[in-house]
Chain A
Amino acid sequence: MTVRAIHRYALATRIAHWLWVVAFAVLVSSGLQIFNAAPYLDASDKSDPAHRVFAIGSPRDGVGETMLFGRTFTTTGALGWTDDGAGGAGARAFPGWLTIPSYQDLADGRRWHLFFAWIAAVCWLTWLVSSAIKGSLQKLVLRPSDLPKLWPMQAYYFHMRKEAPPHGVYNPLQKAAYTLLMFVLAPLVVLTGIALAPGVDAAFPWLTVLFGGRQFARLWHFAAMLALLAFFAGHVLLVLTQGFVNQMNAMITGWYRLGEHEGDGA
């Protein structure tokens, strides 16, 4: 049997992909560092405990507590009373092993966050422009004609159907996932982030208003991060189960071998 390989990922896409991996890791962990300076989220414009939906705290030494939608859980060791990043334990929302830097340093966390936000945004823009010019973008974006194929594709994954519905380089579910990632979640996380900036709020007041105010934008920014983490988890799971070596090779060399895994998720 001859194995046919296709050139699936352009160089710009591959570079952007790996830079995103680094940037995403840094942005999440430096973001948690920034969150630790005010470890609560309010569904309001100004800070308002009456609209608090999430909070991490330490009511007394040695105890960590997390409140979600009015219900309080004891989370000692994981959240609230955690590893302080300096070899001890203390009142700290997210633990040191999850934050950049590991110890409490808001100024440094902001430096990392704002730098890698630029990296991620410039990568996104470069990928968008280069994919649009090369024409590969149209193979990825979900179209109305793909909608009737979504369920048959899912049925194929569930082994309820022998054949995958006919599709191009990306199947309808991949298109749906990547369209959601690149054109909904990525812009959302950037816009909710810059909506927190007082200088942006003055220049474009509609942006902060759109998200319900500054604290609400902070809540959406955190929620968008969780959605991206969920995507990341699903993505990694699919890469691990749908031909890990072939998938990794494809994202490093660009060449993807056909015929081994017909579903080729990830």
Chain B
Amino acid sequence: MKRRLFVASSIAAALGACAPIGTKLNDSSFHELLRGAESLNYPLIGTHGLAREYREQDVDRDFRVNGLPAPQSSQYERFVRDGFASYRLRVDGAVQRRMTLSLAQLQRMPQTTQITRHDCVEGWSAIGSWTGVRLSDVLDLAQPRDDARFVVFHCMDVDDGGTQYYESLDIRQARHPQTLLSLRLNDRAIDPDHGAPVRLRVPTQLGYKSAKWVARLEIVGSFATLFGGHGGYWEDQGYEWYAGI
């Protein structure tokens, strides 16, 4: 009887000790175990269906600005001054045809408009009207090679510590019909705070995937050797690569 009571009180004590575990087990193998949930979530949820599309009157006219500030570089200042006439989107890596596309060339490609909800990892949501080129169309031009598995988006914004923003999608996510290289937000050319001139738009995943100020698409077989190796700026800081949940 006493032994059983001891077992019961040990369990209670163990539970009481739960809260500080979060602090103590950082960067341990236990943390790697926690990350394991992500490998279950992607196969289970995957990239199916279409994000809900809304009506014109649902749009947030004053779309929330979040994340890193607009690039401060002299090159970006020059882009803003010349209305992005000198901007070029580079497409390279594991493709048959490397290329550079000007903003005018992107504007001449078939344009798609979607009114979709942007779901931030912090928990809030906002609705915007996005117009631009399907990423799939750009990939068709560049023709990824057989060993291509991911598209890495190199961005122009840099944080206080000098780390550059980047993101990545696998080919399936990149070819999703709602994955856009958006040029317009709410019927106007995207302004610098919202990612001018080209912002990735991925409505089937959380907001940090929708990278602003995209300058280069690098098609790769693996992102393990790029930057922190986790496939994105926030991913390198512990967020999930699969941002569908």
- Cβ A111 vs Cβ B52 within 8 A: no
CA separation between A38 and B19, bound complex, in Å? 21
A103 to B22, CA, bound (A): 9
**A197/B33 in contact, CB under 8 A:** no
A interface list, Cβ under 8 A from B: 18, 21-22, 25-26, 29-30, 34-35, 37-38, 45-47, 85, 97-103, 105-108, 110-112, 114-115, 117-118, 194, 196-205, 208, 214-215, 218, 245, 248-249, 252-253
State the Cβ distance, A246 to closest chain B Cβ, in Å.
10
Q: Give the docked Cα–Cα distance between A98 and B18 (Å).
A: 11
Smallest Cβ distance from B238 to chain A, in angstroms? 3
Contact check, A202 vs B15: say whether CB atoms are below 8 A apart.
no
Residue from the list A22, A47, A99, A205 in contact with B124, Cβ < 8 A? A47
B224 contacts the other chain (Cβ, under 8 Å)? no
Separation of A197 and B121 alpha carbons in the complex (Å): 10
The 15 sampled A-B contact pairs (Cβ below 8 Å) are A21-B11, A26-B18, A35-B123, A38-B120, A45-B117, A102-B22, A107-B238, A114-B37, A199-B204, A199-B244, A202-B49, A202-B203, A203-B46, A214-B117, A249-B8
What residues of B have a CB within 8 angstroms of the CB of A253 in the complex? 4
B125 contacts A199, C-beta separation under 8 Å: no
Question: Is B21's CB within 8 Å of the partner chain A?
Answer: yes
Is A115 touching B5 in the complex (CB atoms < 8 A)?
no
Is there contact, CB below 8 Å, between B23 and A118?
no
Check: B41 CB closer than 8 A to any chain A CB: yes
Pick from A46, A203, A218: contact of B60, CB under 8 Å: A46
Q: Please give, as numbers and ranges, the residues of chain B lying within 8 Å of A85 by CB-CB distance.
A: 23
- Asked whether B36 is an interface residue with its Cβ less than 8 Å from the other chain, the reply is yes
- Expressed in whole angstroms, the Cα–Cα distance for A85 and B49 within the complex equals 41
Q: B1 near A245 (CB under 8 angstroms)?
A: yes
Inter-chain pairs besides A29-B19, A85-B23, 10 sampled, C-beta below 8 Å: A29-B22, A98-B19, A108-B26, A111-B238, A118-B37, A200-B244, A205-B52, A208-B52, A249-B1, A249-B4
Question: Which residues of B line the A interface, CB within 8 A?
Answer: 1, 4-5, 7-8, 11, 15, 18-23, 26, 31, 33-38, 40-41, 45-52, 58, 60, 117, 119-127, 203-206, 234, 237-240, 242-245
For A46, what are the chain B residues with a Cβ–Cβ distance below 8 Å? Answer: 58, 60, 117, 125-127
Find out whether the CB atom of B206 lies under 8 angstroms from the CB atom of A115. no
Can you name the residue of chain A whose Cβ is closest to the Cβ of B237? A107
Residue in B38, B123, B205, B239 whose beta carbon sits within 8 Å of that of A198 in the complex:
B205
B48 touches A202 (CB 8 A): yes
CB-CB under 8 A from B205, the residues of chain A are 198-199
List residues of chain A with CB within 8 A of the CB of B26.
101, 108
Are B240 and A101 in contact (CB-based, < 8 A)? no
